[in-house]
Amino acid sequence: MEIFAQLVANSVIAGATYTILTLGFNLIYGATRFTNMAYGVVAATGGYAFFFLTRTVGLPMIPSIIAGALFSGVVGVLTDRLIFSPLRKKNVRPSVHVIASLGAFVAIQALLSIFFGAEFWTLLPSGTVRVFDVAGASVTEVQWWIMGIAAAVSGLLFVVLRFTLFGKVVRALSDDEEVGKMLGINTDRTIGIVFFIGSMIAGLGGILVGFDTGIQPTMGLFILIEAAVPSIIGGIGNLAGGVIAAFLFGFVENFGIWFIASQWKAAIAFGLLTLFLIFKPEGIMGKK
Amino acid sequence: MNSSARIVLGLVIIVAVVAGVFAFLQAPQTAHGPTESPAGNVSPITIGFIAPLTGDGAALGQNEKVAVELAVSEVNMAGGIGGRPLNVIYEDGQCTGKVASNAANKLINVDNVPVILGGLCSGETMSFAAAAEQAKRVVLSPCSSAPAITDAGDYIFRDYPSDLFQGAFGAKYVYEQLGKRKAAIVYVKSDYGVGLDKVFREEFTNLGGTIVADEGYDQAARDLRTQLTKVKASNPDIVYFVGYTEGSTVGLKQAADLNLGVSMFGADGWGDPKLWTDVGVAGEGAMYTTVSAPLSDDFKAKMKEKTGSEEVLTCSPGAYDGIKILAQVMSKVGTDPTAIKDELYKVEYIGGVSAARVAFDENGDPAEASFAVKVVKDGKAVIR
């Protein structure tokens, strides 16, 4: 049964990673109502900021993680201030936002390639990571961190959204931006804060993905997929649904290959997405 | 601003842009006019080059580019090709079919080169082999090893052996020299990986061994844990792991994280020192097959002068010899691609750095090949 334990562990680790990525994505979607294609590459900038701070500047790990996440937050806010906020003021259709975000995605990815090269870098040298044995499954120290941080980020986000004034404002915005405006909410400022927090979560996710595997400029697309698929399955903009779907996605992807060859891993995941889009397009927790 | 003013302004801008583009296009043409006229035979002979200069396999491609630059400067120092200097246009194929195919189309249709030296990755070469064959341009790959390239066309050559030989050599070595009977295969889903997977599986089974797992992964995948988990559950004696630097870096680390606990045996894609510095202890004891190239001390010294490293990577000797062979052929028959093709089938090149003797069989494959096994000790690959 060793393989069963390992598959459960792999699924939970993947689910935790997807949870972090999907939370930030969902938060931004909830406030802005468009699919932000630049989300993945904003996450990648966090990984690169960490890489730069530890390798070139020589800062220790923890401050670098915090600075890396903050950097992603700033990049996210900049995309909002420079691109999305002006578009909002012009009241353009959501599809224009999506295309603009695709432009930001390509531009930021190109900048990463120019500054850091297109190579794949590992953030942690091998042999420095401890491996723990849990009921026959191997789980590394980094993976424990990923699971811990996923739990902490989701917990914190739920508390903030449920019990603070800012949370109420964000939830009101998610329901209806126009009504929010009428009630006197400074929507532009609130969306800016949401971009900062969501992008910071993305950056944290980018750093953790980098710890677990490595970083390269094109990683943004995979991160976007890993963030967007669970949010669509969970009901886009719905945080709890996103978390449930992140784990469902992780389990289906990892257990699917128990039965069929592992080269079909991605096909299984997208098969699940297609099924949901056909039979339950509003998602697990979505409102009709 | 009213609308007619806008239209006028728009027209002015368009005229300015068009004029600017014209001026830009005109300037270099007039400047280069004389050298491009067919007067005399001093105009450069331009050939194309395709290899990954960024992305997967970039370390191999960059090293290959240095070897090509070295060979070209030597050819030109020695008087060029019939008095004409050799010039190379370097294109980045990114180890990706689509990118390499675009690069080849540009080289064939825009630059009108008679010969392309490349690609490096099998997927690159396969992506443009048909187009080159149709346009009647010679392709000489210094490193693509997928078996399918054997039948890719009359104009398609390589001075690097097919994986039919490498995979069979690897299977035999694992079975006879290492005495392993149960092998698991993990391979990259590219022309290269799929080719080696097939050959190794067949040869190992023919020898009497068992393939207990056979798992592929996407070239862009950076999480091989699911594949490796299945491999671990199949209880192999050894893992035959075919990949390029990036996928192998994460794969070897994740295998160590999962406590796989068996030897890893790879192929020539592991001939990149960055892989072994990146994986650290997770790479210790790993073995891989590599083409055994004579590599003269002179060549090694010249490469070191340019790269600052002792290591000459897998694809560089074949690229260096490839340029020398092409120069030899073009000196004899000129730059007509069909004449170059016909002459390549007859060529015999002695004293190269990639093999003692280079000659092509009727499929444009090297007539002979020899391999060696390297093992990683203290982060460095040495001949076992």
Q: Is residue B91 part of a domain?
A: yes
Greater confidence, B365 or A126? B365
A115 contacts chain B (CB < 8 A): no
Question: What is the gyration radius of the CA atoms in chain B, in angstroms?
Answer: 24
What average pLDDT does this structure show over A141-161? 91
Distance CA B118, CA B125 (A): 7
CATH of the domain at B272: 3.40.50.2300
Instruction: Check whether A156 has a pLDDT greater than 60.
Output: yes
A216 contacts chain B (CB < 8 A): yes
What average pLDDT does this structure show over B236-246? 94
Are A126 and B283 in contact (CB < 8 Å)? Answer: yes
Take residue A147 and report the two structure tokens written for it.
């699971």
Place of tokens 């190794």: B200
B327 and B346, same structural domain? Answer: yes
Give the model's confidence band at B12: pLDDT under 50 very low, under 70 low, under 90 confident, else very high: low
Are B58 and A262 in contact (CB < 8 Å)? Answer: no
Take residue A135 and report the two structure tokens written for it.
């009921």
B337 and B280, same structural domain? Answer: no
How do beta strands B371-377 and B380-383 pair?
A: antiparallel
Helix residue ranges, H only, A120-186: 141-163, 165-175, 177-182
> How many percent of chain A have pLDDT more than 70?
97
Nearest-neighbour CA in chain A from B145: distance (Å): 22
Greater confidence, A126 or A111? A111
Q: Which of residues 294-353 of B touch A (CB under 8 A)?
A: none
What domain range is B114 assigned to?
A: 45-163+294-369
What's the domain count of chain A? Answer: 1
Nearest-neighbour CA in chain A from B33: distance (Å): 34
Q: Tell me, what's the pLDDT at B37?
A: 39
Q: Is residue A160 part of a domain?
A: yes
Are A113 and B54 in contact (CB < 8 Å)? Answer: yes
B284 and B175, same structural domain? Answer: yes
Q: Is residue A251 part of a domain?
A: yes
What average pLDDT does this structure show over A126-132? 72
Q: Tell me, what's the pLDDT at A151?
A: 95
Q: Is residue B240 part of a domain?
A: yes
Q: State pLDDT tens for residues B253-302.
A: 989 888 888 999 999 999 888 899 888 888 999 999 998 888 888 999 99
Q: Is residue A288 part of a domain?
A: no
Q: Tell me, what's the pLDDT at B10?
A: 64
What average pLDDT does this structure show over A240-252? 91
Task: Tally A–B CB contacts below 8 A.
Answer: 94
Q: Which residues of B touch A254 (CB under 8 A)?
A: 226
B123 and B246, same structural domain? Answer: no
A120 contacts chain B (CB < 8 A): yes
B326 and B216, same structural domain? Answer: no
Give the model's confidence band at A273: pLDDT under 50 very low, under 70 low, under 90 confident, else very high: confident
ipTM given for this complex: 0.77
What average pLDDT does this structure show over A174-186? 76
Q: Is residue B253 part of a domain?
A: yes
Nearest residue on chain B to A138, alpha-carbon basis? B258
B274 and B357, same structural domain? Answer: no
Neighbours of A288 (CB within 10 A): 5
Q: Is residue B23 part of a domain?
A: no
Q: Tell me, what's the pLDDT at A180?
A: 74
Nearest-neighbour CA in chain B from A281: distance (Å): 28
Q: Is residue A212 part of a domain?
A: yes
Instruction: Check whether B205 has a pLDDT greater than 90.
Output: yes
Q: Which residues of A touch B258 (CB under 8 A)?
A: 6, 138
Cβ atoms of A187 and A180 closer than 8 Å: yes
DSSP state of B228: H
Q: Is residue B56 part of a domain?
A: yes
What average pLDDT does this structure show over B187-193? 91
Instruction: Check whether B175 has a pLDDT greater than 70.
Output: yes
Are A119 and B233 in contact (CB < 8 Å)? Answer: no
Phi-psi region of B57 (alpha: psi -120 to 50; beta: other; left: phi over 0): left
Nearest-neighbour CA in chain A from B139: distance (Å): 27
Q: Is residue A233 part of a domain?
A: yes
What average pLDDT does this structure show over B67-77? 95
Cβ atoms of A196 and A245 closer than 8 Å: no
Q: Is residue A260 part of a domain?
A: yes
Q: Is residue A285 part of a domain?
A: no
B376 and B248, same structural domain? Answer: yes
B174 contacts chain A (CB < 8 A): no
B134 and B51, same structural domain? Answer: yes
Q: Is residue B65 part of a domain?
A: yes
B299 and B154, same structural domain? Answer: yes
Q: Give the DSSP H or E segment for B352.
A: none
Reported residue count of chain A is 288
Distance CA A258, CA B262 (A): 21
Are B230 and A3 in contact (CB < 8 Å)? Answer: yes
Instruction: Check whether B27 has a pLDDT greater than 80.
Output: no
Place of tokens 């903050």: A70
B266 and B242, same structural domain? Answer: yes
Are A138 and B215 in contact (CB < 8 Å)? Answer: no
B136 and B257, same structural domain? Answer: no
What average pLDDT does this structure show over A192-214? 93
CATH of the domain at A10: 1.10.3470
Closest partner CB to B253 (pick from A117, A126, A263): A126
What's the domain count of chain B? Answer: 2
Q: Tell me, what's the pLDDT at A79?
A: 96
Q: State pLDDT tens for residues B47-65.
A: 999 999 987 788 899 999 9
Q: Which of residues 88-147 of B touch A (CB under 8 A)?
A: 94
Are A127 and B280 in contact (CB < 8 Å)? Answer: yes
Nearest-neighbour CA in chain A from B278: distance (Å): 7
Q: Is residue B27 part of a domain?
A: no
Nearest-neighbour CA in chain B from A187: distance (Å): 32
Q: Tell me, what's the pLDDT at B18?
A: 59
B154 and B204, same structural domain? Answer: no
Q: Is residue B251 part of a domain?
A: yes
Are B54 and A117 in contact (CB < 8 Å)? Answer: yes
Q: Tell me, what's the pLDDT at A107?
A: 95
Distance CA A20, CA A123 (A): 19
What domain range is A244 assigned to?
A: 2-120+129-279
**In the predicted model, what is the mean pLDDT of chain B?**
88
Window from A12-16, A166-170, A256-260, B362-366 with minimum mean pLDDT: A256-260
What average pLDDT does this structure show over A77-84? 95
